Amino acid sequence: MSCDHLICAHCSHPVSEGRCPSCRAVRARMHGDGPSIPPVLVLAALLALLFGALLLQRCAA
Q: Can you give the pLDDT at residue 40?
A: 92
Looking at the chain, how many residues does it have? Answer: 61
CA distance 39 to 47: 12
CA distance 10 to 55: 57
All structural domains of the chain with their residue ranges: 15-60
Q: How far is CA 45 from CA 42, 53, 54, 61, in A?
A: 5, 12, 14, 25
Taking only the tens place, the pLDDT of each residue in 6-61 is 888 889 888 888 889 988 888 888 776 556 778 899 999 999 999 999 999 998 86
Q: Can you give the pLDDT at residue 23?
A: 85
